[in-house]
Structure 1
Amino acid sequence: MQLNSDGTKPIYVQIAEWLENEIIADQLRTDDKVYSQYQLAELFNINPATAGKGLTLLLEEQIVYKKRGLGMFVTTEAKQMILVKRRNERLTTMVQEIVLEARRLMVSEDELIELIKCARSGEERK
């Protein structure tokens, strides 16, 4: 993964999201040891403190837990929590933006639903 240092999203947030993606993709599973801040710093060529902030975000959200002297590990509920969070935050925002744009373009509700169905099935719209 390439981090976007020119974007508006802080690097530590991108680190947390990358780790979340690893959990969603089952690259990291329940009770798996998560990369240390130093491993993340080396992997992404960033300051260890920045990587640590990304890990702290996940710790605060209870996606990972800390074992004293051993590091951080994926919680049992991590994958489900991430999926719910992303549905509630990202998907809702995206749908609201799509609905607003559809109104501006005078796309009917039926047309919008058909577009969504086609996009979901991977078909071209007729």
Structure 2
Amino acid sequence: MKINPDQEKPIFIQIAEGIEDGILTGAFPEGSQIPSITEFSVNYKINPATALKGINLLVDENIIFKKRGVGMFVSNGAVKQLKEKRQNQFYNNYISNLIEEAKRLGFSSDDIIAMIERGFSQ
């Protein structure tokens, strides 16, 4: 996971997304423990409150859960939940804008599909 303090995206969001990426790639399997707040703050040289804020975003979404006195763990079903979340974000951030512009330019759905297929074959 990389944290870029110069990026417009807040660091706590970068922490949450980095953990999400780790869950999706299998670095943090469901049921496994994630690094502690202290580990995040020391490894990335950030304030522990910032790390906690990022982790709490995932706790609020039931992606991870706390075991009092033990640490934070990846919830069962987290991968499925994250895939659905990311697919919705992908649609909202990219596909809906693509469709709007395609309509303005007079493209048909077949034209768009052909362009996407061309992009995948390159």
TM-score by length of 1: 0.87
Counterpart-to-counterpart distance in 1, 2:27 and 2:101: 36
Identify the residue that residue 65 of structure 1 maps to in structure 2.
65
Shift of 1:93: 2.5
Identify the residue that residue 31 of structure 1 maps to in structure 2.
31
Shift of 1:3: 2.1
Structure 1 residue identity aligned to 2:59: L
Deviations 1:42-76 (A, max 9, x none): 22221111001011011110001111100000011
Give the CA RMSD over aligned residues. 1.6
Counterpart-to-counterpart distance in 1, 2:101 and 2:62: 36
Shift of 1:77: 0.9
Is structure 2 residue 117 aligned with structure 1 residue 117? yes
Identity %: 37
Identify the residue that residue 9 of structure 2 maps to in structure 1.
9
Paired positions, count: 122
> What SS does the corresponding residue of 1:59 show, helix, strand or coil?
helix
Identify the residue that residue 42 of structure 1 maps to in structure 2.
42
* Greater Cα offset, 71-80 or 92-101: 92-101
Counterpart-to-counterpart distance in 2, 1:20 and 1:34: 11
Deviations 1:55-102 (A, max 9, x none): 101111000111110000001111111001111123333101112232
- 5+ residue gaps, structure 1, are none
